[in-house]
Chains A and B, each alone.
Chain A
Amino acid sequence: MSNFTRRGLLKTTAIAGAGLAMPTLITSPVAAYTNAPTGGSVTLGFNVPQTGPYADEGADELRAYQLAVEHLNGGGDGGMMNTFSSKELKGNGILGKKVEYVTGDTQTKSDAARASAKSMIEKDGAVMITGGSSSGVAIAVQGLCQEAGVIFMAGLTHSNDTTGKDKKANGFRHFFNGYMSGAALAPVLEARYGKDRNAYHLTADYTWGWTQQESIAAATEAKGWNTVNNVLTPLATTDFSSYVAPVLNSGADVLVLNHYGGNMINSLTSAVQFGLRDKVVNNKNFEIVVPLYSRLMARGAGENVKGIFGSTNWHWSLTDEGTKAFVKSFGEKYGFPPSQAAHTTYVQTLLYADACERAGTFNPCGVAEALEGFKFDGLGNGPTEYRAEDHQCFKDVLVVKGKENPTSEFDVLEVVEITPRAQVEYAPDHPMFAGGNLGACNSGA
């Protein structure tokens, strides 16, 4: 004979239902946002290229993240926490919780980057995702973070679109962009090479290349230059000789290489091989310009970069207190100076932690509010502002040149001008950044 009765079944069901609902009822006020930290630690997700062509840059980013975590948890010498204008960070983690991290490998592929970010959010409980060395990846991961309800602190991404047509309320970029490179470079190029120049552009065929080319062409044309041609080159190109050869007879006297990483190393090597730097065209010395430089790739390009102008977000040779503190921390820990990728990722981690402290929560909407319009100093770029309208940092931009007489293997670039913020600033509705909408912050609740 069965012990089941109708009344007993109802009782059991009611108790079981209440039991199942209990955790939700109890935790719902705490879990008002995705991955709200509940224990004594908080997990950050560092999504960097650990394999693929930007693996060296990714490795440098990871070093910087690890250094930032060490400093946030009270280890080391504190680095830029000592020079940061905001004094919220005390070396006791974030909001009293010890900072832990997980890493993902973007492989510099959008789908792989999204998959690793998704895994860090869903499996590891990361409350913030940061990293990347490519605009395609940054835009893809930024979109994912917006949907998932976590903050995305972009790493090295230079396309106008990241904070332009693809901007998101949960995404923030400290790194500069193509427009800023053009605005900073054009006056220097005009001063050095004159107004009457014919530029030939070779451009990497993806979002970053397109927006940088558009920006550089617009800025140089405003100074009187003529854009002779713009040739899109496949990202997978390894031998650029067939793209460089036509430049010889094009009537151009400047070659602008809108390439980054391996593309830039290979295209510049080809251009130098074809003797472009020794040519005289239109009674002028032929010149090459690399609008976006990084020290890591400048090293890869070797002697070829000497005397070539470009722009960069930050350089270890700057003499401000923030830079000195960061270079000392990083250099003593790893034995070489940090790259601009390392700098921007370190700074982004501190900025996120500081925003959490000021907001008093890890809730992405609270953090976003704290970051919007935030003005700060002491992080290596001088006075800086996270503009509320597009979540883009505005600060001075460095114009650099390949050093003629380097004193060490790290001493490959020299800063020739620090372009003030006012010169590189633009309206939020500038046509090059149009078409996007930040939308509303998503906390994942």
Chain B
Amino acid sequence: MDALLLQILNGLDKGSAYALIALGLTLIFGTLGVVNFAHGALFMVGAFCAVTLQHIIGLSKITIDPTKVDFLGNPAKVKTPYVVEWFGESAGMTIIDWAVPLALLFSIPVMLLIGYAMERGLIKHFYKRPHADQILVTFGLAIVIGEIVKTNFGATEIQVPAPDSLAGVSDIGAMFGMGAGQLAYPTWRIVYFFFALGIIGAIFAFLRFTTFGMVVRAGMADRETVGLLGINIDRRFTIMFAIAAVVAGLAGVMYTPIKPPSYELGMQFLVISFVVVVVGGMGSLPGAVAAGFMLGILESFASMNVVKSFFEAIYLPSIDQIIIYLVAIIVLLTRPRGLMGKAGVMEE
């Protein structure tokens, strides 16, 4: 039972990341009609916003310590972070410790700018081109972004730890009357889950309860009519692209303590996020969220030993590697438009 609960929790936090990326993807598709294969790269760029801020905060004054030597036997260089120099040991170390939450603030303008530049500089030229062209150009863009990041940060993963106070495990079992230590779960992953819920809720509220959101939804339903009403829907869609980029970026920032980022992070999430969008239904925001959590949980269950053994016995080895695609096939065979897809999307 504990093992099941653990995997459900695990699936929820995996699903949180899938849902956040898929939400942005489907938002872009629903508004601009663009299949954006560079969306995973935006998630990765967000993660590297955290890495960058960690580097900036960690910038240090270098002094020579004649009592110590480096690996070549020369006097050792001692680094003292400027934030420690300026704000004192306690405040300085607290700033360094809270680099990830601070990176959320740092990433918002960066991602807005990147999203805006991407849409105006490249994507807008492909609105009227076939989806295959859009996929090719955005996939190429994802590779370029990945290589730029690799050139600047290397290929190896970089640790970006969560604040100390949120880095341990939380005894969830005790909160629900179970024995102490029976069901413990990493605190940051719980934070990530609630963070994802907050972002998803904010996006839905924004689209539902603001005039801007209302116009965007109207544009998603009938772009031409909204344009005839004298509303500049293209400008609003550009802003939505930038917002989707910010959502991907924030998701990436918060994911860094869970998985140390590397330049390949975007590609690792891209395919799975597309499967999530397709299973949820192209252009359906609730579908993307529901499919994200569903596939996250199924993926977690599939990696349980008992489940793997069962499927091996019925000649389906490595179920943990194929479960998501298997579910996608089943969903698309039974509901070709995905779980919550609507008629007319990608069917012209």
CA distance A332 to B71 in the complex (A): 10
Shortest distance between the CB of A379 and any CB in chain B (Å): 19
Given the known inter-chain contacts A275-B186, A408-B71, please indicate yes or no for A302 contacting B161, CB distance below 8 A: yes
For A332, the closest partner residue in chain B by CB is B72
Residues of chain B within 8 A of A242, CB atoms compared: 7, 10-11, 14, 299-300, 303-304, 320
B155 adjacent to A53 (CB under 8 Å): yes
A239 adjacent to B2 (CB under 8 Å): no
Among the stretches A63-71, A97-105, A262-270, A345-353, the one at the interface with B is A262-270
A53 adjacent to B264 (CB under 8 Å): yes
Q: By DSSP majority rule, is chain B's interface helix, strand, loop, or mixed? A: mixed
A433: CB under 8 A from chain B?
no
Partner of A301, one of B159, B189, B320: B159
* Proximity bits, B205-244, A CB within 8 Å = 1, else 0: 0000000000000000000000000000000000000000
Partner of B68, one of A55, A274, A336, A407: A407
CA distance A269 to B265 in the complex (A): 15
Q: By DSSP majority rule, is chain A's interface helix, strand, loop, or mixed? A: helix
A56 adjacent to B303 (CB under 8 Å): no
For A302, the closest partner residue in chain B by CB is B159
B131: CB under 8 A from chain A?
no
Given the known inter-chain contacts A53-B264, A274-B186, A407-B76, please indicate yes or no for A239 contacting B159, CB distance below 8 A: no
Shortest distance between the CB of B172 and any CB in chain A (Å): 12
B342: CB under 8 A from chain A?
no
Partner of A296, one of B156, B167, B264: B156
Residues of chain A within 8 A of B168, CB atoms compared: 275, 278
A316 adjacent to B71 (CB under 8 Å): yes
B318: CB under 8 A from chain A?
yes
A56 adjacent to B155 (CB under 8 Å): yes
B157 adjacent to A300 (CB under 8 Å): yes
A410 adjacent to B71 (CB under 8 Å): yes
B14 adjacent to A303 (CB under 8 Å): no
Residues of chain A within 8 A of B273, CB atoms compared: none
B158: CB under 8 A from chain A?
yes
A327 adjacent to B72 (CB under 8 Å): yes
CA distance A249 to B173 in the complex (A): 14
Given the known inter-chain contacts A229-B305, A275-B184, A303-B161, please indicate yes or no for A327 contacting B71, CB distance below 8 A: yes
A248 adjacent to B156 (CB under 8 Å): no
Shortest distance between the CB of B234 and any CB in chain A (Å): 37
Residues of chain B within 8 A of A269, CB atoms compared: 159, 258-260
* Proximity bits, B132-153, A CB within 8 Å = 1, else 0: 0000000000000000001000
For A243, the closest partner residue in chain B by CB is B303
A238 adjacent to B259 (CB under 8 Å): yes
**Interface residues contributed by chain A, number (CB under 8 Å):** 49
CA distance A407 to B299 in the complex (A): 41
A248 adjacent to B6 (CB under 8 Å): yes
A54: CB under 8 A from chain B?
yes
Interface positions, chain B 27-74, Cβ under 8 Å from A, are 68, 70-72
* Proximity bits, B295-310, A CB within 8 Å = 1, else 0: 0000110011100100
B72 adjacent to A246 (CB under 8 Å): no
Chain B interface size, as a band, is 35 or more
Shortest distance between the CB of B267 and any CB in chain A (Å): 10
A90: CB under 8 A from chain B?
no
Residues of chain A within 8 A of B320, CB atoms compared: 234, 242
Residues of chain B within 8 A of A55, CB atoms compared: 150, 154-155
A273: CB under 8 A from chain B?
yes
Residues of chain A within 8 A of B76, CB atoms compared: 407-408
B80: CB under 8 A from chain A?
no
For B171, the closest partner residue in chain A by CB is A275
B72 adjacent to A299 (CB under 8 Å): no
Interface positions, chain B 253-299, Cβ under 8 Å from A, are 257-260, 262, 264-265, 268, 299
A303 adjacent to B71 (CB under 8 Å): no
Shortest distance between the CB of B270 and any CB in chain A (Å): 12
B188: CB under 8 A from chain A?
yes
A79: CB under 8 A from chain B?
no
Partner of B157, one of A239, A265, A316, A328: A265
Residues of chain A within 8 A of B308, CB atoms compared: 231
Given the known inter-chain contacts A248-B6, A327-B71, A332-B72, please indicate yes or no for A239 contacting B258, CB distance below 8 A: yes
B105: CB under 8 A from chain A?
no
Residues of chain B within 8 A of A317, CB atoms compared: 71
Residues of chain A within 8 A of B70, CB atoms compared: 408
A416: CB under 8 A from chain B?
no
B155 adjacent to A54 (CB under 8 Å): yes
B71 adjacent to A266 (CB under 8 Å): no
For B2, the closest partner residue in chain A by CB is A249
CA distance A301 to B257 in the complex (A): 11
A52: CB under 8 A from chain B?
yes
Interface centre among B157, B169, B262, B299 (most CB of A within 10 A): B157
B260 adjacent to A266 (CB under 8 Å): yes
A231 adjacent to B305 (CB under 8 Å): yes
Partner of B3, one of A54, A238, A245, A411: A245
Residues of chain B within 8 A of A239, CB atoms compared: 14, 258-259
Residues of chain A within 8 A of B155, CB atoms compared: 51-56
Q: Nearest 6 CB-CB pairs, A to B?
A: A302-B159, A55-B155, A275-B169, A242-B303, A273-B186, A242-B300
5 contacts between A and B (CB under 8 A): A246-B3, A269-B258, A275-B168, A331-B71, A331-B72
- In the complex, besides A56-B154, A278-B168, A300-B159, 17 extra interface pairs with C-beta distance below 8 angstroms are A52-B155, A234-B321, A239-B14, A241-B13, A241-B186, A243-B303, A249-B2, A262-B262, A266-B260, A303-B159, A316-B71, A317-B71, A327-B72, A328-B72, A332-B72, A408-B71, A410-B71
